[in-house]
Amino acid sequence: MEKIKVLEYVIDAMGGMYSSDWLDRPIQENYTASVEFYLLFQDRIFEFVQEPQEADIVPVMLPNNIDSETSEYLFKHFNKNQVAVNIVFVTHIDEEIMKPSNFEYSGNTPFRKIVNLHTDYNKVNDDTSELIYTDFLFNRSHIMHFKRDVIEPYWHKAHKNHWYQKPEPVEGAVDTFPHKTFDITPDHDIIYELQEFMRCVNNHEITPKIFVTPSTTRIKPRLAQRSVLRKELNRLLFDYEGYIGDISQGLSLLPDMDKYHTRDFLGLNGWGFSPPHNAYYNSSSLSIYVETLVYTGVNNTKCITEKTWTPLIKGHFILPFGRAYTLEHLRHDYGFKFPVWIDYSYDVIDPNHKEHFTPFTEQVRWDMYKEEIKRLCDYGATNLYQKKKEDLNMLLHNRSILRDYGCRYDISSRKDLIMG
């Protein structure tokens, strides 16, 4: 089968993700490909090329308003036989990003068409030749934890950002895939590790732990909504025993690494997609967190992120606050199972609820969520440890979905739409 040729770097017209002078540089020197690039184009049907004119697919980061200078640059190096694949919408997704107007381009390009990849499950059945769904965030967790051979050969040359481990530079050393960071506790050791921690608790060497909460509260206009909720969540959880990670407040949940340096303790490396150390999860039972999308907006955007995938991989029960019906989405569309002893009624907009307002407000859901957090934390770490032992098969089932089912809606399965 003839392979689809993909240009092995990303053309960034979003103001210079890696360089502010990109228009003044020869095209061969623009950028190395990002980690996301190699995760997207990971199937054997793709072949990487360096020469722009050889490529069938040109990975791009395009604004919807393409100015004349950018247009001139693109016409100089590309042609009408090529497809531009815009990857802007596969990671930092939110309600604002998914406005339909963001996919309407003004200005000229040489490409036969521009394909926008996105991760909004609400549009999974709305695929067109210009707007194509890929479950990139699920696939990223699957590959990084369970299928490293996909990314490992490219790790040394892929551009790293704060989402991935950047070791201290050592002269002559090769930047290799951080296996320890993405290793997980084997199925058969989860209870053993918990019992070892309980032994330390019983010997009064450490206090019992209930939860893990990676809950960064960076305040930016686009992030303010979820950051406000996370601040309130962190204040609530400080009354209980658990692990809280908020780099904005100097609280880092460190990943597993051979060597740490100052940047890790400041939270500049050990955040984002660097999952917290297995020890945090092995010594607790529940992940409590606010997802990226928290309220239903005008675009009805639906997207699950690594905030959910990581604890499911690590063997944790989850208590997320996201959009209404987040748990139903995980059950129905993915096949995850959740325990009956956790009250997830806050996840559903119930017009018959005794505290129903007109209209039913998100504040009611948030208040119900906090009450369930307090109930579970008051239940106690020891009782939750017992639930973890009793429901281990459910936790292993959830892990198996991320481990064994493979990638979902990866772009190799959408190649006909992309190239058509």
User: Which pLDDT does position 29 carry in this prediction?
Assistant: 35
Residues 343 and 393 in one domain: yes
**Three-state DSSP class for residue 47:** strand
Residues 152 and 193 in one domain: no
d(CA 378, CA 236): 12
Question: Residue 140 in contact with residue 31, Cβ under 8 Å?
Answer: no
Residues 334 and 193 in one domain: yes
User: Which pLDDT does position 269 carry in this prediction?
Assistant: 54
Residues 108 and 167 in one domain: yes
Element (H, E) at 76: helix 68-77
Question: Residue 289 in contact with residue 215, Cβ under 8 Å?
Answer: yes
Residues 89 and 188 in one domain: no
Domain housing 10: 4-178+407-419
Q: What's the predicted TM-score (pTM) here?
A: 0.91
Question: Residue 282 in contact with residue 190, Cβ under 8 Å?
Answer: yes
Residues 129 and 165 in one domain: yes
User: Which pLDDT does position 97 carry in this prediction?
Assistant: 84
**DSSP secondary structure letters along 143-157:** HHHH-GGGTGGGTTT
Number of neighbours of residue 64 by Cβ within 10 angstroms: 16
CB neighbour class for 44 (10 Å; exposed up to 12, middle 13-18, buried from 19): exposed
**DSSP secondary structure letters along 306-343:** HHHHHHHHHT-EEEEE-STTHHHHIIIII-----TTS-
Domains held by the chain: number: 2
User: What residue type is assigned to position 105 of the chain?
Assistant: Y
Residues 145 and 270 in one domain: no
d(CA 13, CA 116): 14
Residues 208 and 345 in one domain: yes
**Which residues touch 204 (CB under 8 Å, ≥6 apart)?**
none
Block mean pLDDT (10 aa), the chain, length 420: 90 57 40 84 90 93 85 91 93 82 89 95 86 95 95 88 68 82 96 96 95 83 76 95 88 84 66 83 97 84 94 98 94 97 88 48 86 97 97 98 95 90
User: What residue type is assigned to position 139 of the chain?
Assistant: N
Residues 412 and 386 in one domain: no
CA 212 from centroid of its chain's CA atoms: 17
Residues 158 and 187 in one domain: no
Residues 246 and 270 in one domain: yes
d(CA 315, CA 309): 10
User: Which pLDDT does position 23 carry in this prediction?
Assistant: 42
User: Which pLDDT does position 19 carry in this prediction?
Assistant: 37
User: What residue type is assigned to position 121 of the chain?
Assistant: Y
Residues 329 and 255 in one domain: yes
User: Which pLDDT does position 67 carry in this prediction?
Assistant: 84
* DSSP 8-state secondary structure symbol assigned to residue 18: S
d(CA 165, CA 175): 10
Report helix, strand and coil shares of the chain as percent, to nearest 5: 40, 15, 45
User: Which pLDDT does position 15 carry in this prediction?
Assistant: 57
Question: Residue 402 in contact with residue 182, Cβ under 8 Å?
Answer: no
Which region, left, alpha or beta, applies to residue 113 given φ > 0 means left and ψ of -120 to 50 means alpha? beta
- The length of the chain, given as a count of residues: 420
